[in-house]
Structure 1
């Protein structure tokens, strides 16, 4: 009897696993958009032509709590299932850039950067320490990309940081058209 029950339940378990697979984002999918942004979007933010440094951005958790960009209406780029999937990805807060999958930038973890800061201290001290350690006075940041269920639409934030009142960035929505990412909407831009 038990064997029959296992035989009957096995296809159900396998089908649930396959359905669950569409609810994850692979490294290949994630680094496709990350490396696209690094090669095409980040150069627009600075005049630097060399490799430079990049870190994880914390903007997703702050910015995407604003509901107006993640609601369903006539103008929405996302349906209800997409929004649920995006929130699921936001709740997975462990996002660390993988240096082996990044092209043309050296990864410095956000945690490493935070160790250069001391609470209550002027930001100029951070930049002094950063310059001493890395020989530069600038770095880029990129957020965890947040994908639609079909993985063809993604929200990502990125920025260029070069001092306490120096930098800029934006939050964009991209769509995969064929094998190429295209910007379809700018949600927010900032300049410091």
Structure 2
């Protein structure tokens, strides 16, 4: 009985440690991205937030075959290569399911530096009486000032935790927005963008 208790305790300790390590890595990535964005020369003023849910849709091309000319919007297409193994892809997918119930708000205490950060809940009132994009942005500017909204998804990682995927988007008005999915690799302690997919603009 004592051995079983010790075994269960070790499993619990390991799972908590792994969860904490992932959380630290997520904020390591997000802190770097926010800092780099803030240092770019621009007249725009940003509010920062994470997406309302981890909403990646990943297609494993090792298991599902599609025509090479077929384009599936809002889907990240991955296959085993020099960046991701087949096991990596399955692990990435496991971090997105069920994506519609996972909410990850930026914790201001974990962001290094002084930035304007808002939560998804700060936008609920604006979305509850939605009368179109133009009306939404009028209300947005009344509440927050003339600012843009910069969104980051919750980072997801490969098995070695040295490559991650982040969706990044930006909105400055009803007809001004864009984004993409970035693939980042940790090189010499810095997360370097090594690939992109799913670019969009409005």
Question: Could you tell me the TM-score, scaled by structure 1's length?
Answer: 0.79
8 Å contact 1:127–1:137 — kept in the other structure?
no
1:64 — aligned with what? 57
What's the CA shift for 1:22? 6.8
Paired residue for 2:28?
32
Q: How many residues are paired up?
A: 183
TM-aligned CA deviation for residue 133 of structure 1: 0.9
Q: Secondary structure at the match of 2:48?
A: strand
Contact 2:60–2:79 (CA under 8 A) maintained in structure 1 = no
1:13 aligns with 2:18: no
Give the distance between the partners of 1:49 and 1:138, measured in 2 at CA: 7
Partner of 2:70: none
Query: Which position in structure 1 is the counterpart of 2:65?
Result: none
Distance 1:35 1:121 in 2: 34
Matched, 1:82 2:88: yes
Q: 1:97 aligns with which of 106, 113, 119?
A: 106
Residues of 2 paired with 1:19 and 1:56: CA distance?
27
Report the secondary structure of 1:181's partner residue: strand
The 5-angstrom pairing of residues 1-192 of structure 1 reads 5-6=1-2, 8-10=3-5, 12-17=7-12, 20=15, 23-24=18-19, 25-41=21-37, 47-48=42-43, 50=45, 52-58=46-52, 60-61=54-55, 63-68=56-61, 69=76, 71-73=78-80, 75=81, 77-91=83-97, 93-102=102-111, 103-118=113-128, 121-192=131-202
Structure 2 gaps, min length 5: 62-75
Question: Larger deviation: 87-96 or 166-175?
Answer: 87-96
Q: Per-residue deviation at 1:187?
A: 1.5
Which structure shows the bigger proportion of residues in helix conformation? 1
Query: Could you tell me how far 1:96 is from its partner in structure 2?
Result: 1.1
Cα separation, 2, equivalents of 1:109 and 1:182: 27
Shift in Å at residue 132 of structure 1? 0.8
Q: Are the counterparts in 2 of residues 53 and 107 from structure 1 also a CA contact under 8 Å?
A: yes
Structure 1 unaligned runs (5+)?
none
Distance 2:115 2:90 in 1: 32
TM-score when scaled to structure 2? 0.75
Q: Secondary structure at the match of 2:127?
A: coil
